[in-house]
Amino acid sequence: MGSPARFWHWLSDREVQCDLCPHYCRLKVGATGRCQARAATESGLVSLNYGLFTAICVDPIEKKPLYHFHPGTNILSLGSFGCNLNCPFCQNWEIARAKRPAVAELSPDEVVHLAEKSAREAGSIGVAFTYNEPLMSIEYLLATLPKLQAAGQKSVLVTNGMINPEPWRELLPYVDAVNLDIKAFTPNFYREVVGGDLATVLAAAKMLFIAGVHLELTCLLIPGLNDELTEIGQLVDWIAAELSSEVPLHFSRYFPRYRMNNPPTSLQRLKEAVDLGRKQLRYVYAGNAPELGEEYTGRSPF
């Protein structure tokens, strides 16, 4: 089962190391990586989710959220399974951690045809790979995105940015827009809460910006974990200094989900975060909080 993977090497005749992300999973034959989407076999590392999708729908582009990339249009949205983080507050855990069979298996050419059909029928501009962590399907993306580009379709990623530079660099020429999720701005949060690496995520964001890919950032504010104004200010400082004051930033309201029962983000803290961000950044929005109105949420009700 599975399709041959890239970005790995043998450690011995019965063990491989995956080099896609900074986990560098060491897998004996028969074992599956932390992402649950890559596994070691007798012949090497394979991708378990190649061309398999657990969710297919058409969304407003603002729902990604992308407010400054073809606003007012729709986009075909595809989700697979697998994620290399383990966020206890995951908003899409049923998809990212899916154990059920995929709803569809699509070749790269079939995705292009589906995108063209969606463009005709729903006015969509391309394909967003979203819901789970799309970079855990790197082989499929490298096979599909060039075909979408050749067909005049836009390619969008909604990602956690936990990827090593080599595969990221290879993929970027085919990516039109990214919403990158910065979970927090402390290494300890990444290490202890979600099982990731902040430095890797920030490096991925900088590579995107330097490559000229349209970039918007999202941060889900969770009471007691990453919503201190000092930390929020440090994130804003970093964006202004290392990226640009023109990069849009979305602060999303947290609600209890999956394995986390912290109370929802207060509307007051969400407003404070947006106000703080707007001192240095031109485009800062509140998400999941329509109660705040357009002054804070911008054009989108999501």
16-75 pLDDT, tens digit per residue, is 999 999 999 999 999 999 999 999 999 999 999 999 999 999 999 999 999 999 999 999
Residue 237 and residue 207 in one domain: yes
Give the Å distances, CA to CA, from 253 to 144, 160, 224: 33, 17, 13
Q: Is the pLDDT of residue 300 over 70?
A: no
The pairing of beta strand 8-12 with beta strand 15-18: antiparallel
| pLDDT value, residue 231 | 98
Mean residue pLDDT across the chain = 96
Q: Report helix, strand or coil for 231.
A: helix
Range of the domain at 202: 52-297
Which helix (H) or strand (E) segment is 138 a member of?
helix 138-150
**Residue 177's pLDDT band (boundaries 50, 70, 90)?**
very high
Give the Å distances, CA to CA, from 109 to 130, 186, 270: 19, 41, 42
- The answer to whether residue 302 sits within a structural domain is no
| pLDDT value, residue 292 | 94
Residue 121 and residue 189 in one domain: yes
Residue 162 and residue 260 in one domain: yes
| pLDDT value, residue 302 | 44
- The answer to whether residue 281 sits within a structural domain is yes
Residue 154 and residue 259 in one domain: yes
**Residue 99's pLDDT band (boundaries 50, 70, 90)?**
low
| pLDDT value, residue 42 | 97
pLDDT tens string 234-249: 999 999 999 999 999 9
- Average pLDDT of span 131-135: 97
- Average pLDDT of span 119-142: 98
| pLDDT value, residue 133 | 98
Answer for the pair 255, 223: CB distance below 8 angstroms, yes or no.
no
| pLDDT value, residue 113 | 99
- Average pLDDT of span 185-209: 98
Which helix (H) or strand (E) segment is 165 a member of?
helix 165-171
| pLDDT value, residue 91 | 84
Answer for the pair 45, 38: CB distance below 8 angstroms, yes or no.
yes
Residue 157 and residue 213 in one domain: yes
Answer for the pair 219, 259: CB distance below 8 angstroms, yes or no.
no
- The answer to whether residue 30 sits within a structural domain is yes
Share of the chain above pLDDT 70, in %: 97
**Residue 301's pLDDT band (boundaries 50, 70, 90)?**
very low
Residue among 163, 158, 157 nearest 175 (CA): 157
Q: Report helix, strand or coil for 236.
A: helix
Residue 73 and residue 178 in one domain: yes
Q: Is the pLDDT of residue 170 over 70?
A: yes
Q: Is the pLDDT of residue 100 over 80?
A: no
Share of the chain above pLDDT 90, in %: 92
Residue 58 and residue 27 in one domain: no
Give the Å distances, CA to CA, from 181 to 48, 85, 90, 216: 24, 12, 12, 9
Classify residue 230 by burial, with Cβ atoms within 10 Å: 0-12, 13-18, 19+.
exposed
Q: Rounding to the nearest 10 degrees, give the CA dihedral for residues 115, 121, 124, 127.
A: -20
Please state the domain count of the chain. 2
- The answer to whether residue 162 sits within a structural domain is yes
pLDDT tens string 46-61: 999 999 999 999 999 9
- The answer to whether residue 241 sits within a structural domain is yes
- The answer to whether residue 36 sits within a structural domain is yes
- The answer to whether residue 84 sits within a structural domain is yes
Residue 194 and residue 212 in one domain: yes
**Residue 1's pLDDT band (boundaries 50, 70, 90)?**
confident
Residue 118 and residue 9 in one domain: no
Q: Rounding to the nearest 10 degrees, give the CA dihedral for residues 20, 23, 26, 30.
A: -70
